[in-house]
Amino acid sequence: MGLTQEVAGYVAGARFRDIPGDVLQLARGFILDGLGVALAGSTDECSRIVQRHIRHAAGRGESSILGTGLCAPAPKAALANGVAGHAMDYDDTQLSTSKEAVYGLLTHPTTPVLAAVLAIGEREKISGEEFVLAYVLGVEVECRIADAINPRHYQSGFQSTATIGGLAAAVAGGKSIRLKEAPLIRTLGIAASMASGLRENFGTMTKPLHAGRAAENGVNAALLAQDGFTAATNILEARRGFFNAMAGGVDESKISGRLGVPYFMKEPGISIKPYPSGSLSHPAQDLILDLVPQHHLSAAAIERIDVGANSNVPNALIYPMPRTALEGKFSIPFCMAIAVIDRKAGIAQFQDRKVRDKKVVELMKRVNLYVDDELEQLGYDQVRSRIRIALKNGRTIEGRYDVARGHPQKPMSWAELGEKFRDCAALVLPAKKAEDVVALTARVEQLKSLSPLIRALTGRLGKHFKKSKITQAGSKKWSRTRRA
């Protein structure tokens, strides 16, 4: 049995009762987090552009776009919600099963899968149990494939959230429409040929488009397979298939026999982001946000900040002097400067006006990101970070963090996840609606349908595009009205 058949057979045969209680609890937290970052991301300009693009394409209103009162065909709703979920770079990140892995290779697992399952699940009127099962299976497949693929996939320039996320969205979408093994195999074949997404687009609107396209491609692949569309039946392992063409190989032992044994979200786990920026910056952000108040530091007192990490960090955090908030999400100098000046690193900090603030720009010039030889020798499985702060009075303050808050070694509680969700949701939802989402997600598997959750997330369920005009100005006016 090849890997493609093994993956499809696992998904086809899995049942909700197979999910252990502790994995179910983890899934609720990741779902709540994913919904929150998508709500916040729905206000981003890249999301607004995609929403307008979808509106002009029109089509049957099957599935809701989060944070709005709009409906679209299921694939297009998946696109919009996938873009929104990744727009602020605030979505979760999988870990690795081995120290030889490259941390940056690993996916943001929730966004493509959640966007696909929400869209197709609303269309198909699935239950809460079916929703959670499809989500868990999609994330499991996504994480196992990303963990196993040759690191050349990442190092050559692919973003795995885009490429592997599409495979995950496909099997999750297929499970939502109750496909059996044979059509799930075809679903993988279709989705694999749609896979793309290049890291050169980091720091632009195209990066969140990667996640949106992965979700859209997954839904389309599942629906095509359901109608009998054909594809290769060995797409993962074939000589001209996914792993060889896109990475030059795979460690099959990291997938075969390991699906759900244990569930990946339990071991090694998934890290939830404490900051809306590239995850490779987070240990350093966590560290400086602790050092600044501890030592009562100010920008005026700092001569220089040196940030050491392994060589994969500057390979991804590519903006020494960012000009926009999107670039700032992939900039160690900006992340350090904003932490010193604002002593925070939330949604309010990652704004264009903050990146261009004179005080921030001046401090960014005094931040240096370098490859630390000691940390390089420890491998790439974690984003170990060292900070040395040279003060103008001659003192030096330093520290090292290997992981950030939200990592399984420093997990967020349900209460902390709720606070992050409320902060995100406040951009589009009234407080009462936000509380409804938290309460519904806490028992999501008990829902007979997703309708109560969708209503809480959108506010105006069922309003089709043809009944609503979205223009540049109208979008901003509508957004202000929604916040009120």
pLDDT digits (tens, 9 = 90+) for 255-294: 999 999 999 999 999 999 999 998 899 999 999 999 999 9
**Nearest Cα to Cα of residue 135 among 115, 158, 107:** 115
pLDDT at 381 over 60: yes
Neighbour-count burial for 40-69, b at 16+ CB within 10 Å, e otherwise: bbbbbebbbebbbebbeeebebbbbbbbbb
- Give the residue-averaged pLDDT of 427-434: 95
pTM of the model: 0.87
| Mean per-residue pLDDT of the chain | 92
Name residues whose C-beta falls within 8 Å of residue 254's C-beta, 6 or more positions apart in sequence.
97, 98, 144, 147, 148
pLDDT at 9 over 80: yes
**Nearest Cα to Cα of residue 467 among 48, 67, 70, 68:** 70
Which pLDDT score, from 0 to 100, does residue 104 have?
57
Q: Identify which has the larger pLDDT, 480 or 378.
A: 378
pLDDT at 169 over 50: yes
Using CA atoms, how far apart are residues 219 and 221, in angstroms rounded to an integer?
5
- Give the residue-averaged pLDDT of 317-343: 95
pLDDT at 461 over 60: no
Coil, strand, or helix at residue 282? helix
- Taken in order 408, 414, 415, 416, is the CA torsion positive or negative? positive
> If pLDDT is split at 50, 70 and 90, which confidence band does 471 have?
very low
Q: Identify which has the larger pLDDT, 212 or 475.
A: 212
Which pLDDT score, from 0 to 100, does residue 233 have?
98
Which pLDDT score, from 0 to 100, does residue 423 have?
93
Q: φ and ψ at 72, to 5 degrees?
A: -150, 170
pLDDT at 463 over 80: no
Which pLDDT score, from 0 to 100, does residue 355 have?
97
% residues pLDDT > 70 (the chain): 94
- Give the residue-averaged pLDDT of 293-308: 97
> If pLDDT is split at 50, 70 and 90, which confidence band does 105 have?
low
> If pLDDT is split at 50, 70 and 90, which confidence band does 103 have?
low
Which pLDDT score, from 0 to 100, does residue 459 have?
60
- Give the residue-averaged pLDDT of 59-79: 94
Name residues whose C-beta falls within 8 Å of residue 375's C-beta, 6 or more positions apart in sequence.
308, 309, 310, 384, 385, 386
- Give the residue-averaged pLDDT of 28-50: 97
pLDDT at 27 over 80: yes
Q: φ and ψ at 304, to 5 degrees?
A: -165, 145
